[in-house]
């Protein structure tokens, strides 16, 4: 015990600045989490972990989600214990904090550069405050980078980390698959004694097992799954979209992005790390070009770049000292420029999220509770209305599962009455037909508002508008889309509290 305390005191003395930066990171992150209102993509995994049967989650429901189940597995314990919904974002914040610590404590970069990384946009906000499975990708990539130099000795640890990465998401699966191929090449091309070769083969089998488990969780795809729209498998889509996605992941200025990327590619070439960057990045871009892409996926490309920069920094090469120092300086200057842009985005989005609601879900949930209407017959539109449900113990929407069963959204054409009843058409396209769906049989109507072409207030026959609960999905230095809700009540109902 005494030896441990002495070691701890020495650690704090030698690396006190790391823990000071980490404390600052934790404080700001906590303030933002406490002021953040989760939206549908954050809420639905929590609802599934809370309400779904564990076996069904991993053998049935994840096939509708399209995600392997590691994130859901993490959420199951707090969700099943009915811990506060806030735990969702606290878990994400905790994982992000550990990732920040790994960077600050173990990365080989200069101190000023280490300090910048945790406060960049994706590590500080999009994969930290916003609680989704993507927070696990930098966590595992940084652990892989930490053990990169000794991966040939610690083959099982490295294989285990690759396997866990594969179970985070489709993107983690792609990155893991790409890095596993490189790992296999590095192992099998070296001549070793049979005992060591057998150990290497076992490690590769372990990776294959994890990849297979991840695959089984999302395949076969259910026939009634709601498909992705506008899937495109053409080479033209890949060529057209990839430059813009790369640009958006770096600086959103094409000239600056191309310049910084060119410098980094030359640096990678000299470090013999082009394959480590191009194989996972190219595979992700190909996946995105199919049409399976959202703006927040940009950060995954940036995490791959950080990973490669980590494993290459300080790596020995045979260049002359002057040329080596010059290229190292140019490469870190390029990365620093990118990080400055990302920090600007982080500051901008943090201010927006602190002062404005990210989603209107929490406010309307509190309104429903305050006015004691959760047991009334409620009709809700749009899948993002499910971000309201984590604030209640069970499903309160009568037009979903008849107000019974589980409260998470299932991407099923058969099961999902909210899609089967063409609620998108009700909300956005055909308000004149809404009477046939409502027919004065619902006490309240929640109209989900997501896009600019939706009307915030509709004329619903027999219903009176109460108020709108605003929310905005903030992205970098702007609002990407709305996440608002309009509430209506059946006419002749008594006036509710807090109507404004």
pLDDT digits (tens, 9 = 90+) for 429-458: 444 455 566 777 899 999 888 877 777 777
In the predicted model, is pLDDT for residue 425 greater than 70?
no
Mean pLDDT, residues 107-132 taken together: 98
In the predicted model, is pLDDT for residue 349 greater than 60?
yes
Mean pLDDT, residues 284-302 taken together: 96
Mean pLDDT, residues 352-374 taken together: 97
The pLDDT value given to residue 495: 53
Q: What span, in angstroms and rounded, lies between the C-alpha atoms of 369 and 374?
A: 7
* Better-scored residue on pLDDT, 222 or 37: 37
DSSP readout, 26-76? HHHHHHHHHT----HHHHHHHHHHHHS-HHHIIIIIHHHHTS-SHHHHHHH
Mean pLDDT, residues 24-39 taken together: 98
Least confident of 64-68, 203-207, 221-225, 478-482: 221-225
Whole-angstrom CA distances from 397 to 87, 376, 491 are 24, 9, 19
* Better-scored residue on pLDDT, 500 or 387: 387
Mean pLDDT, residues 205-224 taken together: 95
pLDDT category of residue 422 using cuts at 50, 70 and 90: very low
In the predicted model, is pLDDT for residue 191 greater than 90?
no
Contact 80, 49 (CB under 8 A): yes
The pLDDT value given to residue 324: 66
pLDDT digit string, tens, across residues 237-248:
999 999 999 999
Residues 6+ apart with CB under 8 A from 325: none
pLDDT digit string, tens, across residues 64-102:
999 999 999 999 999 999 999 999 999 999 999 999 999
Contact 224, 417 (CB under 8 A): no
In the predicted model, is pLDDT for residue 311 greater than 60?
yes
The pLDDT value given to residue 14: 85
pLDDT category of residue 317 using cuts at 50, 70 and 90: low
Percentage of residues of the chain with pLDDT beyond 70: 91
Q: What span, in angstroms and rounded, lies between the C-alpha atoms of 132 and 408?
A: 15
The pLDDT value given to residue 429: 45
Q: Backbone phi, then psi, for 400, in 5-degree steps? A: -130, 115
């Amino acid at each position: 015990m005494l030896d441990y305390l002495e070691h701890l005191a020495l650690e704090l003395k030698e690396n006190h600045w790391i823990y000071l930066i980490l404390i600052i990171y934790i404080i700001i992150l906590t303030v933002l989490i406490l002021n953040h209102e989760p939206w549908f993509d954050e809420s639905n995994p929590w609802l599934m972990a809370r309400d779904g049967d564990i076996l069904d989650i991993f053998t049935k429901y994840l096939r509708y989600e399209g995600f392997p189940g590691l994130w859901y597995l993490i959420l199951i314990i707090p969700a099943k214990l009915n811990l506060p919904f806030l735990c969702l974002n606290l878990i994400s914040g905790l994982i992000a904090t550990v990732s920040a610590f790994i960077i600050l404590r173990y990365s080989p970069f200069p101190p000023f550069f280490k300090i910048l990384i945790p406060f960049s946009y994706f590590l500080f906000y999009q994969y930290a405050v916003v609680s989704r499975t993507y927070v696990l990708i930098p966590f595992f990539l940084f652990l892989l980078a930490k053990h990169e130099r000794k991966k040939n000795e610690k083959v099982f640890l490295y294989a285990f980390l690759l396997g866990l990465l594969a179970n985070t998401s489709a993107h983690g699966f792609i990155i893991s698959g790409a890095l596993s191929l490189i790992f296999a090449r590095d192992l099998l091309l070296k001549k070793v004694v049979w005992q060591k070769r057998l150990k290497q083969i076992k490690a590769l089998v372990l990776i294959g097992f994890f990849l297979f488990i991840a695959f089984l969780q999302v395949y076969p795809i259910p026939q009634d799954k709601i498909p992705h729209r506008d899937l495109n498998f053409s080479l033209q889509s890949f060529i057209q979209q990839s430059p813009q996605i790369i640009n958006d992941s770096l600086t959103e200025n094409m000239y600056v992005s191309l310049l910084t990327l060119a410098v980094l590619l030359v640096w990678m070439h000299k470090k013999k790390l082009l394959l480590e960057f191009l194989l996972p990045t190219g595979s992700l871009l190909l996946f995105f070009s199919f049409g399976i892409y959202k703006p927040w996926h940009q950060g995954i490309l940036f995490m791959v770049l950080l990973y490669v920069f980590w494993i290459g920094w300080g790596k020995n090469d045979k260049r002359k000292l002057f040329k080596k120092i010059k290229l190292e300086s140019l490469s870190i200057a390029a990365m620093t420029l990118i990080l400055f842009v990302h920090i600007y985005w982080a500051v901008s989005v943090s201010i927006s999220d602190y002062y404005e609601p990210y989603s209107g879900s929490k406010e309307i949930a509190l309104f429903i509770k305050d006015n004691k209407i959760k047991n009334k017959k409620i009709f809700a539109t749009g899948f993002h209305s499910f971000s309201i449900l984590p604030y209640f113990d069970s499903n309160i929407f009568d037009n979903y599962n008849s107000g019974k069963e589980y409260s998470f959204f299932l991407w099923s054409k058969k099961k999902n009455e909210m899609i089967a009843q063409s609620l998108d058409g009700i909300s956005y396209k055909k308000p004149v037909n809404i009477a046939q769906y409502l027919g004065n049989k619902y006490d309240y109507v929640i109209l989900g508002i997501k896009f600019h072409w939706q009307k915030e207030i509709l004329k619903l026959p027999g219903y009176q508008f109460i108020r709108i609960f605003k929310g905005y999905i903030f992205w970098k230095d702007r609002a990407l889309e709305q996440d608002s809700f309009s509430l209506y009540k059946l006419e002749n109902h008594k006036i509710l509290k807090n109507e404004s």
